[in-house]
Chains A and B, each alone.
Chain A
Amino acid sequence: MEIPYTIESRPDTGLYNAKLGIWLFLASEVMLFGGLFSAYVLLRVGAEPGMWPHGWLNVTLGTVNTLLLALSAITTLLAWAACKVRDFRKFKIFHACTIALALTFLGIKSYEYHDKWIHYEVQLTNGKFADGHLVEKSPDFDLAKKTGSVTLHGRIVDDERELMDLRAPAAQSAKLDEVTIAATDIKKMENYGPKHNTFTAIYFTLTGLHALHILGGTLVIFYFWAFGGAMWKTDPERFTNRIEVSGLFWHFVDLVWIFLFPVLYLT
């Protein structure tokens, strides 16, 4: 038995099955990301004065990633348009570009994550704070046993609040040096991972979930790109509909980034 409405629209909804399905799915996605954005707003307005970070993320890398996703939205549309005019060769070219752009986006995101992972804030026993990227740990470094030392490329400040606004003139003009700290002088040492503070927690949650969506979308697009030829030969119209549906998902993921970028990188 043939499944109805895989190609033509249902008279009552005006949509074919897959399009109705993806829009219902996207509605649930709006609720998921909407909830997380609400969490971001509540965490931000609930932060102590002067304790919400500014300028912690690399705006240049964020801008490059925005451009990559914008271009990938265009190549996704062009891939669908190529299917519409029955040009499979162009479809392959455009979606190869989409996949390359998506992988570059994920590569840059991984670099940003790694940068946060090797960035440490060290609370010293004298009440000051050391902050910087890890250069090396001595072979005998053990914080629990208080042996060895750690070297950071960064600076030492008197108050943790000085580390919050990196766009402030004082932070902009601060000189970074290699700082070696003995384990005996360390009260607490923590990298800028998700548990560092509420900003890094919501940052990793939002961008991590978004990156997983990019990865999932890339896998689906790759599947159509690599193995779509068989359906294209037997049922090109149905295949075109599948490309449209994957394109709708991809556009949604790009739209989420359009909100994420200013909220996380610019504010």
Chain B
Amino acid sequence: MSLKAFHLVFVTLLTALAFGCAAWAFSSGSVIWGVAGIAAALLVIVYGVYFLKKLKKISYL
């Protein structure tokens, strides 16, 4: 597995963490932090798509 593939794993887990943090914040009654968590998760997804397009030529192996 190349750094590109591992980075993809990292981005996926980071997205899950951001959504998880948002859920945690909402359940704790903090709407602002919850919204910030969702915004962060969406930002990471956008970054992930951008990074995949940018490194299209580099192998996953």
User: A residues bordering B, Cβ < 8 Å?
Assistant: 14-15, 23, 63, 66, 70, 73-74, 76-77, 80-81, 84, 167, 244, 247-248, 251-252, 254-255, 258, 261-262, 266
A248/B28 contact (C-beta < 8 A), A23-B1, A84-B58, A266-B21 known? no
B51 — nearest CB in chain A belongs to which residue? A77
Contact of B13 among A23, A84, A255 (CB under 8 A): A255
Residues of B within 8 A of A244 (CB): 2-3
26 example contacts (A-B, Cβ-Cβ < 8 A) are as follows: A15-B61, A23-B1, A63-B21, A66-B17, A70-B14, A77-B3, A77-B51, A80-B3, A81-B54, A81-B55, A247-B3, A247-B6, A248-B3, A248-B6, A251-B6, A251-B9, A251-B10, A252-B6, A255-B9, A255-B10, A255-B13, A258-B10, A258-B14, A258-B17, A261-B17, A266-B24
B16 — nearest CB in chain A belongs to which residue? A258
| Separation of A254 and B4 alpha carbons in the complex (Å) | 15
On whether the beta carbons of B17 and A251 are closer than 8 Å, the reply is no
Residues of B within 8 A of A77 (CB): 3-4, 7, 51
Nearest Cβ on chain B to A41's Cβ, whole angstroms: 17
Residues of B within 8 A of A255 (CB): 9-10, 13
Nearest Cβ on chain A to B53's Cβ, whole angstroms: 13
Over the window 46-61 of chain B, the binary record of Cβ atoms lying under 8 Å from chain A Cβ atoms (1 yes, 0 no) is 0100010011001001
| Separation of A251 and B7 alpha carbons in the complex (Å) | 7
On whether the beta carbons of B51 and A262 are closer than 8 Å, the reply is no
Nearest Cβ on chain B to A95's Cβ, whole angstroms: 13
Apart from A77-B3, A80-B3, 8 more pairs, CB < 8 Å? A23-B1, A63-B21, A70-B44, A73-B7, A74-B47, A248-B6, A255-B9, A258-B14
Over the window 16-36 of chain B, the binary record of Cβ atoms lying under 8 Å from chain A Cβ atoms (1 yes, 0 no) is 010011001000100000000
A76 — nearest CB in chain B belongs to which residue? B3
| Separation of A71 and B17 alpha carbons in the complex (Å) | 15
Residues of B within 8 A of A14 (CB): 61
Q: Give 3 closest A-B pairs by Cβ, nearest first.
A: A247-B3, A244-B3, A251-B6
On whether the beta carbons of A258 and B61 are closer than 8 Å, the reply is no
| Separation of A98 and B7 alpha carbons in the complex (Å) | 15
